[in-house]
Each structure stands twice: as structure tokens, then as C-alpha cells.
Amino acid sequence: MKFALLPIALAGLPLAIYAQEIEETPPDSLQASEIVLDEVLVSALRVDRSIPLTFTNLEKQDFQPRNLGQDIPVLMNFLPAVVTTSDAGAGVGYTGIRVRGSDATRVNVTINGIPYNDAESHGTFWVNMPDFASSVENLQLQRGVGTSVNGAGAFGASLNLLTDAVSEEAYGQLSSSFGSFNTLRNNLKFSTGLLQGHIELSGRLSRITSDGYVDRAASSLDSYFLQGAYVDENTLVKGLLFGGHEITYQSWFGIDAETLATDRTFNPAGMYTDEDGNLRFYDNEVDNYKQDHAQLHWNEQLSRDWNTNLALHYTRGRGYFEQYREEDDFATYGFEPITVNGEAVNETDLIRRRWLDNDFYGLVFAAKYRNAGNSFILGGGYNRYEGDHFGEVIWARYATDSEIRDRYYDDDSRKTDVNLYAKSTYALDTHWSLYADLQYRRVSYQANGADTGLVDDKFNFFNPKAGVTYDLNKNHNLYFSYARAQREPNRNDYENGNPRPEKLNDFELGWRYISQEVQLNTNVYYMRYKDQLVLTGELNDVGAPLRANVGDSYRLGLEVDASLQLGSRFQWQPNLALSANRNIDFFFQRDGQLQNLGNTRIAYSPGVIIGNRLTCRPVESLQVSLLTKYVGKQYMGNIDSEASVLDAYSHTDLSLQYELVMKGWLDRLVLSGLVNNIFDARYESNGYFFTYDDDFSTPGTVTTIEGAGYYPQAGIHFLLGATIHF
């Protein structure tokens, strides 16, 4: 035993300074010990090896060598059971992530414990926070239901991000990177350090521009991050302001197989025919959106065993996407037919903007007790979303008596989300510990619109979780857990009729091993769903994926990930995910008849996902990493149609980082290089699938027509960067 003083922030997050006895535990041990630098902003939501849940941690030093302007999903690409994609094809602009086949609407994202998923669509739009990875200290990905968290997306996985820790020392940092497709990123970071031992101010300004791999898929992205912190012996208060402004040319339409074979970078967005019959592309077919976040955190160390967290948050979002439309019907916009040169006109070319203007605010709280290996957390939150959806015609070739800024639709929605949870771990003896987690969540959602109809739904969910951990010895532990999750439909689900809430029972069985040279995590899972809202493969008119209830379904899988130290210079980090993902007794209307297709594959759920990272340090200042990803064959629909197949693919990236210690007022210079897809593989990481009935070709018969679209990813491309620390 030794007596230690808890520092403010050296490994993740500030914590109150107080004297505490700490049980020393060898670095090659799984035995639970007191967490000296407990990350209090996220401690209520995160788990460690004493909790019987499946998770992966990613520290800043793990992704920093590759952080040259690409989005967080791309930086997470090599984690177990993760699949990522990029609309523009090169990791800048709109990007997405799936975990165990669960799409982004099921991956619950929190930032310092505050929900980030859009409350109404459940989606996560990383493009609204460009270069946010530069302000992230570390993250934890919980696969499966995970622990009770705040947010609407908690169903298939949870991603908890922790932003920059308070710095004791002042610093400045200037970064710049450039690369393929005219990609350019510049950012500036600073911190005052602790002034008079109590106050720190820090921040970041960033700008990223890129033409994208896909034609005209350009991005212009600005962001900021500002933080003020106050600490004393038992108190930490942090105020954060961060946000971004993105302007991206639309690239969410994909291309068909024929175009894919002849012109991979073709982008149909903005395409129209002018009055002379020439094919043109509208130059401002863009998505233009601003989002600003405010967070205020208050952490108090009440005693040796108790600490509390209280956070207030507010998010302001507003923006639109602009489209050129050919020969649109007057009735869509409330226009009255007119006569031009003696002929009736009821169609027109026009340019429209579809707006979203929303506010999201609330509070989250937690009180935590920890003593002698036992812990108890009581927490919850109140969150309110208010969103306005409206459309404007800003130009029309023919128009009637419409006025400027007339709204051709004007919808609103309101959502209230209240949750309360209690979690506890209890050590029975030196080997066995029990875990329990109970959550109650109440959701109220009101909406009106042509796409949703009139909605006024209320949901009450009780989500219990329990598990057991067995520490065989200091190196091995086993765990088993059960978790139940229930979740409401999102806005797009109401487009398909009267959706039902989805339910999930998740069973996890795992084994962990850790030693000086080897860390190994192995788990099997069985996720059984009722009324799962699976992706159908189809997109709506704004490029958002559509979902439908499918009755009974399941996901069964094996995941293995390891970190092996090979001598003093090499580290090998492989991972493997094998899974079977099935709809049970799936019915589908095909060729005019309702057919039972039996057990079909769930859309966008590859059976094999492999990641690999091999890192070498030939000298202390140089790090070279080779990263490979393999994603197996997957179906973009739920009917096992060969027309919906997304072929297996693999790609390999090469990352280099060299650090040069400087003299004088400069601290160090870090040079980074990233060559993506070094073997120039041609692959598509995402797509869509649709069907429709053709009852005109042959009288008296109905034939189901199938079609698909694809999102091609860039071949070999590079990014080079330099960071000056001073």
C-alpha cells in the first residue's frame, strides 16, 4: 500500500485532489484496483474489466498518427466488428459507422456523457463536427446493449467520447495537412495551463476543405472548440462551447452497377437539362448546416467514497439542403396552374431549400459511490427536442402569386426523453462479483407532416441488465451478462406507416486475458430481437435509409481481439468478428404474392469482419503502422437477392509518424503521413437496394423489379501533415 496524491489531469480527465490509499496492482493483472485518475465526466456511463460487458477503448495516442482531417468513424475503422463508409469516398464529408451490423441510428453517441444522436432521427452526423477528433482525449465503444446511458440511440452499441482534459501546463499547437483530392486541413490549439492553480482556458479552431473522390463531392468545413475549467480541492467545473459549419455538395445518391463499371466517380446530384437540351449540373446542390453545442459540468467530490456529476447542455442546429428540380408539379408547392402563351402550365423547373431548425437541451446527473471493489451509481437525465421542418422555393421558372420565403410545407416536432437508472457492482469474494443495472425511460413524441402524418406517441421502457464476473486469477477473468433494450421508432419510420417499438435481449459471454506481452478479449453474443426495425435497403428522398419492423430476428456472433507485444519494437493488434444475422420466417410481397422466404440475412450485416494493425518502432521517434480491414459479403436487402449483394472487400493503409525534439521556444515537430488503400483496391463499402412492382409489361401479371446503387470508395490516396508544439 502507498499514500498518493491525485493529480488534476494527466491521463484523461480532471478529478478532485485528495489524499487516498491506493492498492498497487501489477500492470499484467486483471485484478480491480482503485482508479486513480477516474474520468468523472463519463465514469457513470463507461465500464472497465470488472463489469461483464463487451467494450474497446481507444486512446488519443492510438488514433493521433492518422488524425489528418478524416472523420471519427474512419479513425475507428479498425476496431472489432466495425464497418465504416464515406459518401464522398475519402473520409471527409458525410461518413457513417455500423457495429455488429447495427447502423448509426443504433450506435448511441455521448460526448462527456451528453447525448449527441439527433433525438428525432436517432442518427449521428459527424460532418456537423469536423475535426472533432483533435479535441478528443479518448473514447470507449461498447458493443451490444452495454450499460445504461443517456440518449435515443442506445440499442446496438454505445460510443462514449471524452474531450480534452484540463492541462496543467500552457501549450500551443499548430497543425496542417494536405493530400489527395485537394484535401487541406489547418487547426490551431492552445491552453493557458492552470492559472493560479485553479483556472484553465483552452480551445481549437479548424478548417477542412476537400474536393472528394466522387465528382463535385466537395466539402468546406469549419469548427471550433472552447473550454474553461475551474478546479479546487474537491470541485471541478467545466464549461464547453463547440460546433461546426459544414457546406458539402450532395453525394448521397450513389450510382448503379452499369455506371460503377464505366464511371466510378459519377455523381448524379444536381443533374438537369437546360432549355437547349444540354446536360448540366447545378453548382449549389449543397447541404449547408450549422450546429453549436454548450455544456456545463459540475463535479463534486463529497467524500472519499462519494462523488457527483451534474451537467446542463444546449444544442442549436439550423440549416438546409438546396436542390434543383426539373418539371416539378405545381401542386407540390401549392402553386395554381397558369397559362403561358395560350397553354396551360402546371409544372416548372425550380430551386428549393428544405430546412431544419432545431433546439435540444436538458440535464444529466449521476451520483457515484465506490468502496472496496463495490460501487453504486444513481443517474438519469431530462432531454427536450424541438424541431421545425419547412421548405422554401427560392427560384422558379414559372410561378403564380407566391411570395418570397413562402413555405410550401411547415411541420414541427417535439420530443421529451426522461430516464433514470441505478447501477451496482458487488464483490462476493476475491473471485466473484455481481453486476446489476436498471433503467426506466419515458419518451413522448409529437410530430406532424406529410411524410409522418400526425404523431402523438408515448413510450414507457424498463430496461434491466445483470451479469457476473469471475476472476480466475490476476490474468484471467470470465463474464456473462444479460441486457434488455427497448426503443421508440424514429421520424423516418413513421413514413412507412405505423411502426412498433423494437425490443432486444442481449446475452454476452466473454473471457479476458492480460499479461505483460499479451492482452486478449474473446466473447460470444446472442442478440434476439422482437419487431427489430431493420434497414430495408431503400432511401427516402433526402438520402436517409428507411427501416421496417420484421417480427423476430437475431444476431449470433464470435469476436476476438488481441494486442501482442513482439519484442521491444513490434506490436500486433488483430481482431476477428464472425456472425450470423437472420430474420426469422421473413415474409415478402414478390410477383404479386406474399411469400415466406424463411430465415433471411439481415441487411448490411456481413458475416466476417477482420481488422489488423501491425506497428513498428525502429527508433523511439519513428512509428510505422500497417492497418488492414476485411469486410465479408453482405446483402443490402432482407430477401437474399443476388441483386442486393455488396461484395466482400479489403483495403490496407500505411501510417507513419516521426517526432523531432526542437530547441528554443519550439517544443517538438511531429510529421505524419497516411497512405490509404495502398494496394489501390476497387471497392464499395455501402449502397442501397429497392424493389417495385411492374404490372404493365404483361397484362394480368405482376413482376417485382429489383435494383441497387453503390457508393464507391477511393483508390490509393494520401495525406501528409505537420504539427508544431510550442
State the cell numbers at 409.
410545407
Reported as half-sphere exposure (CB side, CA atoms, 13 A), residue 159 has a value of 25
Question: 250 with 668: CB under 8 angstroms?
Answer: no
- Cα–Cα distance measured from residue 11 to residue 125, given in angstroms and rounded to the nearest whole number: 28
What is the pLDDT at residue 704?
87
The single-letter code of the amino acid at 713 is Q
What is the pLDDT at residue 381?
96
Q: In total, how many domains does the chain have?
A: 1
Q: Please, is 1 exposed, middle or buried when counting C-beta atoms within 10 Å of its C-beta (0-12, 13-18, 19+)? A: exposed
The residue ranges of DSSP E strands in 397-454, in sequence order, are: 407-427, 432-448
- Cα–Cα distance measured from residue 534 to residue 105, given in angstroms and rounded to the nearest whole number: 11
The single-letter code of the amino acid at 234 is N
What is the pLDDT at residue 39?
62
What is the pLDDT at residue 696?
66
What is the pLDDT at residue 12?
32
State the cell numbers at 158.
454505445
What is the pLDDT at residue 697?
61
The count of other CB atoms within 10 Å of the CB of residue 341 is 5
Residue where the block lists cell 445518391: 253
Can you give the pTM of this predicted structure? 0.92
Over the chain (726 residues), what is each successive 10-residue block's mean pLDDT? 30 31 41 40 83 93 94 95 96 95 93 94 94 95 91 86 93 97 98 94 98 97 97 92 97 94 96 92 97 96 93 97 94 89 90 96 95 91 96 90 86 96 94 96 93 92 96 94 95 88 97 94 97 92 87 97 95 97 94 91 97 96 97 96 96 97 89 97 96 74 90 97 96
H/E element holding 260?
helix 257-262
- Cα–Cα distance measured from residue 429 to residue 449, given in angstroms and rounded to the nearest whole number: 57
Q: What is the DSSP string of 138-185?
A: EEEEEESS-S--SSTTTTSEEEEEEEPPPPSS-EEEEEEEEEGGGEEE
- Cα–Cα distance measured from residue 499 to residue 531, given in angstroms and rounded to the nearest whole number: 9
The two most distant CA atoms of the chain are separated, in Å, by 96
What is the pLDDT at residue 27?
45
- Cα–Cα distance measured from residue 528 to residue 530, given in angstroms and rounded to the nearest whole number: 7
**CA nearest to 390, candidates 414, 406, 409:** 409
Q: What is the DSSP string of 22-88?
A: E----TT--S----TT--TTTTTT---TTSSSEEEEEEHHHHGGG-SS--HHHHTTTSTTEEEEESS
91 φ, ψ (degrees, to nearest 5): 85, 5
Non-local (6+) Cβ contacts of 320 within 8 A are 287, 288, 289, 353, 354, 355, 356
The residue ranges of DSSP E strands in 215-270, in sequence order, are: 219-231, 235-249
- Cα–Cα distance measured from residue 472 to residue 432, given in angstroms and rounded to the nearest whole number: 9
The residue ranges of DSSP E strands in 540-648, in sequence order, are: 545-549, 552-566, 570-583, 587-590, 593-596, 600-601, 608-619, 622-631, 634-635, 645-646
Domain that holds residue 123: 2-725
219 φ, ψ (degrees, to nearest 5): -130, 140
- Cα–Cα distance measured from residue 18 to residue 16, given in angstroms and rounded to the nearest whole number: 6
The count of other CB atoms within 10 Å of the CB of residue 273 is 12
Non-local (6+) Cβ contacts of 279 within 8 A are 271, 272, 273
CATH number of the CATH domain containing 515: 2.40.170.20
Reported as half-sphere exposure (CB side, CA atoms, 13 A), residue 606 has a value of 24
- Cα–Cα distance measured from residue 653 to residue 662, given in angstroms and rounded to the nearest whole number: 29
- Cα–Cα distance measured from residue 207 to residue 185, given in angstroms and rounded to the nearest whole number: 6
Question: 724 with 666: CB under 8 angstroms?
Answer: yes
Q: Exposure pattern of 280-298 as b/e (b: 16+ CB <10 Å)?
A: eebeebbbbbebbbbbbbb
Q: What is the DSSP letter of 268?
A: -
The residue ranges of DSSP E strands in 603-702, in sequence order, are: 608-619, 622-631, 634-635, 645-646, 649-661, 668-676, 684-694
